[in-house]
Amino acid sequence: MNQDLKCYIPKQAYRGVRQLLEGNHLNVKVKRERKTRHGDYRKMANGYPQITVNANLNPYRFLITLVHEIAHHETYKTHGLRVRPHGKEWKITFQHLMLPFLNPDIFPETLLPLLAHHFKNPKASSDTDVPLALALKAFDAPNEKTYIFEIPDGGIFKTPNGKRYKKIKKRRTRYECKALKTGRLYAFSPHAEVKRINDENE
């Protein structure tokens, strides 16, 4: 397994992850935290696929993200590049790959019912499944982060650059928010890091 992933995933998941990666020529790199994504999958200039996953994820979210990206590789290998990135082929592949990991030796009992529900129809991002996202966050290291998916509709928040927005509604995978200064609408990733504020002038 390229790069030592043992310290990033649940111990009992290591053998299964190793089996998924072996023989696929997958290059897995652990990256510093990125604000807009937990991980990604892409073909490199040399033709080989590469998966990246953020180092700051807790072991359960890291595992889900890693298998999510492996599912992209398996989907494109089986169905070609013309399928939708998170279409039915990817959903079925992700379900199939995750199933062996959905057991109490790997995930806490509190997460298993939420994971079972999520994988009936997996989303492009687990952060759009708010009950699961909040349950996963409970296993993060202590911090003061708030994410868009945690802000209620109509809530006011501030981005790291100081701009203020009001959360309007959820689209398919992103959240529509209005800039308070200009009135323009923007689409935010569900795991965009923000600061919740009580009023528009705070």
Q: List pLDDT tens digits, range 72-105.
A: 999 999 998 889 999 999 999 999 999 999 999 9
From-to residues of CATH 2.30.30 in the chain: 146-197
Given this model, what pLDDT does residue 199 score?
A: 67
pLDDT over 70 at 171, yes or no: yes
- Provide the CA 170 distance to its chain's centre, in angstroms: 16
Given this model, what pLDDT does residue 187 score?
A: 93
Assign residue 125 a region (left: φ > 0; alpha: ψ between -120 and 50; beta: otherwise). Answer: beta
Average pLDDT, the chain: 90
What is the mean pLDDT of the segment spanning 4-11? 92
Given this model, what pLDDT does residue 200 score?
A: 65
Q: Which CATH number fits domain 146-197: 2.60.40, 3.40.50, 3.55.50, 2.30.30?
A: 2.30.30
From-to residues of CATH 3.30.2010 in the chain: 11-137
What is the mean pLDDT of the segment spanning 58-79? 96
pLDDT over 70 at 3, yes or no: no
Judging by DSSP bridges, how do beta strands 156-158 and 164-170 pair with one another? Answer: antiparallel
CA end-to-end distance (rounded Å), the chain: 48
Residues 52, 39 contacting (CB under 8 angstroms): yes
Write down the pTM of the prediction: 0.79
Residue pointed to by tokens 């998966």: 51
Selection from 89-98, 144-153, 161-170 with the highest mean pLDDT: 89-98
pLDDT over 90 at 118, yes or no: yes
Domain 11-137 class in CATH: alpha beta
What is the mean pLDDT of the segment spanning 107-136? 92
What is the mean pLDDT of the segment spanning 101-110? 97
